[in-house]
Amino acid sequence: MNNIIIGDCLLELKKIPDESIDLIFADPPYWMRVDGILKRPEGTEYQGCNDEWDNKFTTNEDYNKFTTLWLSECKRILKKNGSIWVIGGMQCIYSIGAIMQNLGFWFINDVIWQKTNPTPNFLGTRLNNAHETLIWATKTTKSKYTFNYKTAKELNNDIVNFEKGERRQLGSIWKIPVCSGNERLKKENGEKLHSTQKPESLLYRIIAISSKLGDTVLDPFGGTLTTAAMSKKLGRNYISIEQKKEYVDYGLIRLENIVFEDSKIAHAEFDKKPQKVTLQEMIEKGFLQDNENFYLKNTLLIAQLQKNGKLLYANNEIDMHSLAAKLKNSKSERLNGYNFWEVERNGIRVSIDTIRQNYREAIS
Ligand SMILES: C[S@@+](CC[C@H](N)C(=O)[O-])C[C@H]1O[C@@H](n2cnc3c(N)ncnc32)[C@H](O)[C@@H]1O
């Protein structure tokens, strides 16, 4: 299932069957149009992205044709309910976005990756370019794509009280440092291997929130195999295509040292819907008693639980959700009864929701 391919993605993508891939992450050549050597103010050379693979295009048409070709193949191999992430800087992301829309991809979000340690604009001639843009899109408007919403909340650690347990919806601006330190792959002579190696935390987040355990993740521009490495860590299958053997050679060593981390994030545990249970079932299993008192929270009102799971109140049998709404004079016909009713255990009122949690734990 896993495959690292050395080759041209325009040819290699053609060999992949239709609708066989769950998630694509693409970090294509940016076509930075870098002219000459970049220098720091003190005169030393700065190794930006001036690679042959990035500067091989001559005109916009040339770049757009290349983009159309690889994106068309990605659309073909993406499953009906799959999704694709494409990352790029200002030089390319606008034309890529237009081509994606022309090909019928449906945009879900664009995400700003805000670099917390960006390279300075050495000459001070323009703003410091401190971000890249990611487009997240589905194959069609109807795709039922994977979004692990609660997992995304768990990964949103950029909030003040995260350590104290506060969780918030993940937004579309992600603050993540540029890949550096030990994570940055180096050649034997100490030079950095790749000019645009992406941070692992960026790929980890993308894969964790938009795919499932066992899914197949494809990267047509594999580089140092960051996508494959994070797919492996999260228990996804991976296919990466990279034309430059040197990147793959080092990437494979990196990949070998990555192990699957069997975590709640990998399993998207936070997004699993709890098992449906009924009051009747809880009576049968002894977690609730037939005819016991149900107390409406913060009131003196009492009803009796019946064997069939309904409540007896004023000689009427009624479900606990409708009765809670009625007794609370709610505008809606039903409230979530689990949050409104309590029973007594050892002289203390305990919410039905807690009883349900205990029951779920006991049967899981
Ligand atoms: C922006 S880099 C990707 C970096 C990668 N995300 C990482 O974290 O290392 C783009 C990569 O695409 C590769 N590439 C460019 N054109 C290609 C093609 N036609 N087929 C396969 N790889 C290609 C380049 O060699 C380069 O490594």
pLDDT digits (tens, 9 = 90+) for 313-326: 999 999 999 999 99
Q: Tell me: pLDDT of 37 over 70.
A: no
How far apart are the CA of 160 and the centre of ligand 1, in A?
Answer: 36
Confidence of residue 255 (pLDDT cuts 50, 70, 90): very high
Chain mean position to CA 152:
6
Q: Is 185 in the pocket of ligand 1 (CB under 6 A)?
A: no
Same domain, 250 and 300: no
> Ligand 1, atom 12: nearest CA belongs to which residue?
221
Structural domain of 214:
3-271
Instruction: Please report the atom of ligand 1 found closest to the CA of residue 179.
Output: 8
CA–CA gap between residue 45 and residue 38 (Å, rounded): 6
The tally of domains found in the chain comes to 2
151 Cα–ligand 1 center, Å: 29
Q: Does the CB atom of residue 241 touch ligand 1 within 6 A?
A: yes
Whichever domain contains 242, its CATH number is 3.40.50.150
Query: Are 90 and 171 in a shared domain?
Result: yes
Question: Do 33 and 85 share a domain, yes or no?
Answer: yes
pLDDT at 73: 98
pLDDT of residue 1 exceeding 90: no
Answer yes or no: is pLDDT of 275 > 60: yes
Between residues 274 and 218, the one the model is more confident about: 218
Answer yes or no: are the C-beta atoms of 136 and 210 closer than 8 Å: yes
Q: Is 214 left (phi over 0), alpha (psi -120 to 50) or beta?
A: left
Query: Which neighbouring-strand residues pair with 136?
Result: 85, 109
- Testing ligand 1's pocket by substitution, the residue of 219, 239, 243 carrying the most ligand atoms inside 8 A of its CB is 243
pLDDT at 48: 61
pLDDT bucket at 49, cuts 50 / 70 / 90: low
Q: Domain ends where: 271, 302, 337?
A: 271
Atom of ligand 1 nearest to the CA of 251: 9
Rg of the chain over Cα atoms, rounded to whole angstroms, equals 27
* DSSP code of residue 199: P
Q: Are 4 and 228 in contact (CB under 8 A)?
A: yes
Average pLDDT, the chain: 94
Q: Measure 246 CA to ligand 1 centroid, in angstroms.
A: 12
Tell me how far apart the alpha carbons of residues 113 and 205 are, in angstroms, rounded to a whole number.
12
* Cβ neighbours around 50 below 10 Å, total: 15
* Coil vs helix vs strand at 163: coil
Report the run of H or E that residue 169 belongs to, with start and end. Answer: none
pLDDT band at 364 (very low <50, low <70, confident <90, very high): confident
pLDDT at 251 over 80: yes
CA gap 238, 216 in Å, rounded: 5
pLDDT band at 50 (very low <50, low <70, confident <90, very high): low
Same domain as 356, residue 289: yes
Cβ–ligand 1 distance for 138 under 6 Å, the answer: no
Q: Rounded to whole angstroms, how far apart are CA atoms 364 and 353? A: 16
How far away, in angstroms, is 307 Cα from ligand 1 center? 65
Task: Kindly state whether residues 46 and 87 are assigned to the same domain.
Answer: yes
CA of residue 29 to ligand 1 center, whole Å: 6
Q: Does residue 161 carry a pLDDT above 90?
A: yes
| pLDDT of the residue at 66 | 97
Confidence (pLDDT) at 51: 75
Distances (CA, A) of 177 to 1, 115, 116, 119: 32, 5, 5, 11
pLDDT single digits (tens) 119-133:
888 888 999 999 999
pLDDT-derived band at 53 (thresholds 50, 70, 90) equals: confident
By alpha-carbon position, which residue is closest to atom 16 of ligand 1?
Answer: 53
Mean pLDDT in residue range 166-189: 96
| Ligand 1 atom showing the smallest separation from residue 10 Cα | 19
Q: Are residues 130 and 176 in the same domain?
A: yes
- 150 φ, ψ (degrees, to nearest 5): -75, -30
CB of 226 closer than 6 A to ligand 1?
Answer: yes
Domain-ending residue, one of 271, 298, 315: 271
Pairing of strands 106-115, 237-242: unpaired
Nearest CA to ligand 1 atom 5: 223
Mean pLDDT lowest among 167-171, 274-278, 322-326, 340-344: 274-278
User: Would the CB of 9 count as within 6 Å of ligand 1?
Assistant: yes
Q: Which residue, of 216, 243, 271, is where some domain finishes?
A: 271
Q: What is the rounded average pLDDT of the residues 187-204?
A: 96
CA distances from 322 to 69, 75, 329 (A): 58, 48, 11
d(CA 195, CA 338): 55
Q: What is the pLDDT of residue 228?
A: 98
From 206, 230, 242, give the residue whose CB has the most ligand 1 atoms within 8 Å, as the site to mutate: 242
- pLDDT higher than threshold 90 for residue 42: no
Looking at the fold, whether 94 and 133 belong to one and the same domain comes out as yes
Helix 226-233 × helix 200-210 angle, to 10°: 50
Helices (H), 179-225: 200-210
* pLDDT for 4: 98
**Per-residue pLDDT reduced to its tens digit, 54-80:** 678 889 999 999 999 999 999 999 999
Provide the token pair at 90. 């200002």
Q: Interior CA angle at 346 toward 341 and 351, to 5°?
A: 20
Q: What's the average model confidence in pLDDT over 209-217?
A: 98
- Which of 30-34, 116-120, 323-327 shows the highest mean pLDDT? 323-327
The mean per-residue pLDDT over the stretch 159-184 comes to: 95
Please check whether residues 8 and 114 belong to one and the same domain: yes
Q: How far is ligand 1, taken at its centre, from the CA of residue 99, in Å?
A: 19
pLDDT at 149: 98
In the numeric block, the tokens 């890249």 are attached to 132
Residue 46: pLDDT band with limits 50, 70, 90: low
Q: What percent of the chain is modeled with pLDDT above 70?
A: 95
Rounded CA separation 272/256 (Å): 31
Residue 197 CB–ligand 1 contact under 6 Å: yes
| Cβ count within 10 A of residue 156 | 18
**Which residues, at least 6 apart from 7, have a Cβ–Cβ distance to it below 8 Å?**
241, 243
Does 283 lie in the same domain as 262?
no
**Three-class SS of residue 73?**
helix
Q: In degrees, to the nearest 5, what angle opens at C-alpha 223 toward C-alphas 16 and 66?
A: 60
Domain shared by 167 and 283, yes or no: no
CA of 27 to the centre of ligand 1 (A): 7
pLDDT above 90: residue 43: no
Answer yes or no: do 242 and 294 share one domain: no
The model's confidence at residue 305, banded by pLDDT at 50, 70 and 90, is very high
Q: Are residues 244 and 353 in the same domain?
A: no
Percent residues over pLDDT 90 in the chain: 88
The span from the CA of 93 to the CA of 73, in Å, is 18
